[in-house]
């Protein structure tokens, strides 16, 4: 018997429907689903779950610790708890921009303040320039601009500012969070993509003003739809997410990726519509059953260093799971490094193939879009 565990918080409609669906679809293959139950984790305790779907460890740190341990014991966790811990929006904007995705100009800002229990003085912060040249930063991103956390969600501390005065008034409310200042995209269309696995992408018409999803299959032209799907696949390949929403603001036909650090996306029936709720249930259930039975189709680890061919330069020796080329004992050091880099950058092998459930086009061959 393979068991899928669900870790979630105050969600209403998705959890029971998901457990039911996995139990009914998975029964013939011996896959069942249940809520994860935890009451203190003993080091080395064996994994009960083949797969865990994590929708809450960003808010309950004990769960994050448990999930890392579960990975060590052989559980496949969606999403990878190590990478989720490491990721932030500024880094992932920068990765995506290097991979050819349209990204609004973005600046990472020094924090307004620090948690009260950290004893910082002016001397602690001597690496920071003061005062910040706000005019220059605004000149760079343009006006109006968006001020938002470098890690966050639910529109908390997202401000639209038109000038320096508004920027500083908003910034003053943001302690202790690191913030980004971003070019405002005056969009015509706005798309939220559900992603199931790295390559199965469902773009949905989303109205940020009303915060509503719409069922509107003709919303994007075929050409724009194809670009959005390809860009979303590239982002998920680079960052390793398998359950995500990726948001694009479209201006003059160009889809700017605005927010793609949503590893516990909203799946509530009332908000995503009955149509997409059913779609999400089916896709998520098939994804976890596939992972429980067949293990990682493409692995939960990010591949940005491999896709950008900077593995060796940045000190990496290949993404985990990419076995470095065997080095003969007498081989000189330099060619061995070159061989390793070449192996890491090699065109797609089975490990980059889309999951069996994937209907969308395959990820870019070699995972190195121009």
Ligand X SMILES: Nc1ncnc2c1ncn2[C@@H]1O[C@H](COP(=O)(O)OP(=O)(O)O)[C@@H](O)[C@H]1O
Contact positions toward Mg ion, by CB under 5 A? 259
- Minimum CB separation of residue 95 from ligand X in Å reads 16
Helix, strand, coil % in the chain, rounded to nearest 5: 35, 20, 45
* Shorter beta-carbon distance to Mg ion: residue 231 or 259: 259
- Minimum CB separation of residue 268 from Mg ion in Å reads 15
Of the candidates 161, 183, 182, the one whose C-alpha atom is nearest the C-alpha of residue 172 is 161
Q: Which does 83 bind (CB under 5 to 8 A by kind): Mg ion, ligand X, none?
A: none
232 binds ligand X (CB under 6 A): no
257 binds ligand X (CB under 6 A): no
103 binds ligand X (CB under 6 A): no
Would you call the peptide bond into 176 cis, given omega within 30 degrees of 0 as the criterion? yes
* Shorter beta-carbon distance to ligand X: residue 235 or 258: 258
Q: If DSSP codes are grouped into helix, strand and coil, which group holds residue 148?
A: strand
Q: Which does 184 bind (CB under 5 to 8 A by kind): Mg ion, ligand X, none?
A: ligand X
Binding region for ligand X (CB under 6 A) out of 43-51, 75-83, 149-157, 292-300: 149-157
Q: Which does 158 bind (CB under 5 to 8 A by kind): Mg ion, ligand X, none?
A: ligand X
Measured in whole angstroms, the distance separating CA 303 from the mean position of its chain's CA atoms is: 12
* Shorter beta-carbon distance to ligand X: residue 41 or 151: 151
| C-alpha to C-alpha distance for 201 and 241, rounded to whole angstroms | 12
Helices (H), the chain: 14-26, 61-72, 81-86, 89-98, 134-141, 164-171, 222-239, 269-294, 304-307, 333-344
Give me 106's structure tokens: 């973005």
Q: What is the DSSP letter of 365?
A: G
* Shorter beta-carbon distance to Mg ion: residue 31 or 191: 191
CB-CB contact of 259 with 151 (8 Å):
no
210 binds ligand X (CB under 6 A): no
Q: Which does 219 bind (CB under 5 to 8 A by kind): Mg ion, ligand X, none?
A: none
- Minimum CB separation of residue 247 from ligand X in Å reads 5
Residue 249 CB neighbours (<10 A): 21
158 binds ligand X (CB under 6 A): yes
144 binds ligand X (CB under 6 A): no
Burial of 260 (0-12, 13-18, 19+ CB in 10 A): buried
* Shorter beta-carbon distance to ligand X: residue 2 or 251: 251
- Minimum CB separation of residue 250 from ligand X in Å reads 11
The size of the chain, in residues, is 370
List interacting residues with ligand X (CB under 6 A).
104, 146, 148, 152-155, 158, 182-185, 208, 247, 249, 258-259
């Amino acid at each position: 018997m393979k068991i899928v565990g669900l870790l979630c918080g105050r969600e209403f409609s998705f959890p029971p429907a998901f457990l039911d669906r996995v139990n009914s679809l998975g029964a013939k293959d011996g896959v069942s689903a249940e809520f994860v139950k935890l009451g203190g984790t003993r080091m080395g305790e064996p994994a009960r779950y083949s797969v865990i779907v994590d929708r809450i460890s960003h808010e309950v740190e004990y769960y994050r610790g448990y999930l890392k341990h579960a990975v060590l014991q052989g559980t496949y966790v969606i999403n990878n708890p190590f990478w989720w811990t490491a990721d932030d929006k500024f880094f992932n904007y920068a990765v995506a921009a290097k991979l050819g995705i349209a990204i609004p100009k973005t600046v990472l800002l020094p924090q307004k303040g620090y948690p009260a229990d950290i004893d910082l003085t002016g001397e602690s912060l001597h690496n920071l320039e003061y005062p910040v040249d706000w005019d220059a930063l605004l000149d760079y991103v343009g006006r109006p601009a968006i001020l938002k956390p470098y890690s966050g969600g639910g529109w908390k501390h997202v401000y639209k500012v038109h000038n320096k005065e508004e920027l500083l008034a908003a910034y003053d409310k943001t302690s202790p969070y690191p913030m980004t200042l971003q070019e405002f995209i005056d969009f015509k269309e706005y798309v939220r993509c559900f992603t199931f696995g790295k390559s199965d992408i469902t773009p949905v018409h989303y109205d940020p003003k009303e915060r509503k999803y719409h069922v509107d299959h003709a919303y994007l032209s075929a050409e724009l739809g194809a670009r959005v799907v390809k860009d979303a696949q590239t982002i998920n390949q680079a960052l390793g997410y398998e359950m995500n929403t990726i948001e694009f603001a479209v201006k003059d036909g160009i889809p700017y990726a605005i927010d793609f650090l949503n590893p516990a996306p909203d799946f509530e029936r009332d908000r995503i519509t009955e149509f997409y709720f059913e779609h999400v249930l089916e896709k998520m259930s098939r994804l976890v059953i596939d992972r429980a039975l067949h293990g990682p189709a493409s692995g939960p680890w990010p591949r940005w260093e491999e896709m950008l061919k900077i593995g060796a330069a940045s000190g990496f020796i290949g993404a985990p799971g990419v076995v470095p080329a065997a080095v003969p004992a007498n081989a000189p050091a330099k060619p061995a490094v070159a061989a390793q880099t070449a192996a890491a950058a090699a065109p797609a092998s089975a490990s980059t193939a889309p999951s069996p459930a994937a209907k969308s086009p395959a990820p870019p061959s070699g995972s190195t879009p121009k």
